[in-house]
Amino acid sequence: MEAVIEKECSALGGLFHTVIGDMKSSCPIWEDFITKAGKLQSQLRATAVAVTIFLDAFQKVADLATNSRGGTRDIGSALTRMCMRHRSIEAKLKQFSMCFLEGLINPLQEQMEEWKRGVNTLDKDHAKEYKRARQEIKKKSSDTLKLQKKRGTHFCFCILIF
The number of domains in the chain is 1
pTM: predicted TM-score of the whole model, two decimal places: 0.67
What does the pLDDT read at residue 157?
43
Domain that holds residue 59: 1-160
> Which CATH number characterizes residue 132's domain?
1.20.1270.60
Tell me if residue 145 falls in helix, strand or coil: helix
Residue 90 and residue 52 in contact, taking contact as beta carbons nearer than 8 Å: yes
Q: What is the full DSSP assignment across 51-81?
A: HHHHHHHHHHHHHHHHTSSTTHHHHHHHHHH
Q: What is the DSSP secondary structure assignment for residue 103, as one 8-state letter?
A: I
What does the pLDDT read at residue 56?
97
What does the pLDDT read at residue 130?
82
Give first-to-last CA distance, the chain, whole Å: 32
pLDDT per residue of the chain (162 residues) written in tens, 0 to 9: 566 766 776 777 778 778 888 888 888 999 999 999 999 999 999 999 999 999 999 999 999 999 988 878 899 999 999 999 999 999 999 999 999 999 999 999 999 989 888 888 988 888 888 888 888 888 887 888 888 887 765 544 444 444
What does the pLDDT read at residue 61?
95
